[in-house]
Homo-oligomer: A and B are copies of this chain.
């Protein structure tokens, strides 16, 4: 079987199935031919190159490969739909962020950090979307469920792995913190001084 034919089958398969396709699934398209993962890789590279100049791209996600439209054509494509995509609430996004960056995490821990109760509705919504799942139960009183994100979460947010999440802002360590506190204590009613300290620390944050 010629590689060109393999390429056509792989391209058609990627478009025919809505879920990302793993390398195994792609090799599995050819049970009767001797097609290796190497061949598939070459074909995927070819396809990727052929999409360079187009409105679609080949994306590698955690579960496998997916063909999707490029962000650059989004302004036109959004004209196709009557309704705007649903906005996610800040409460949901903050909860999701905590689960993504801090998994495995319990609901109580999320509430500690956010300082407010987490509504069951939000948890259920994300479970239903299969963005989060129960990883197990912590062996403490009440056996709280430990939550984590799923591959569907990565797919939906167009990430290959959790490492592709935007990096979390640094937190100042306690020693620096205490030094600054002691330094600033005498001036704590002086907003000008505080503002100066602020602009300094902003620079630091920008460098991070």
Contact = CB atoms under 8 A, between A and B. Distances in A.
Interface of A: 4, 8-9, 11-13, 15-17, 21-25, 28-31, 37, 53-56, 62-64, 67, 69-70, 73, 76-77, 79-80, 83-84, 89-91, 101-104, 114-116, 120-121, 123-125, 127-128, 130, 135-137, 139, 146, 148, 151, 154, 160-165, 168, 175, 178-179, 182-183, 185-186, 189-190, 193-194, 196-198, 200-201, 204, 207-208
B115 A30 contact: no
A55 B29 CA distance: 14
Given A12-B55, A186-B104, A200 B124 contact: no
A178 B124 CA distance: 22
A15 B56 contact: yes
Nearest to A114: B124
Given A103-B189, A136-B182, 15 more contacts: A4-B53, A8-B54, A9-B77, A13-B73, A13-B80, A15-B56, A25-B84, A28-B79, A28-B83, A90-B130, A104-B190, A135-B185, A136-B178, A137-B179, A163-B197
Contacts of A53: 4, 8
A56 B103 contact: no
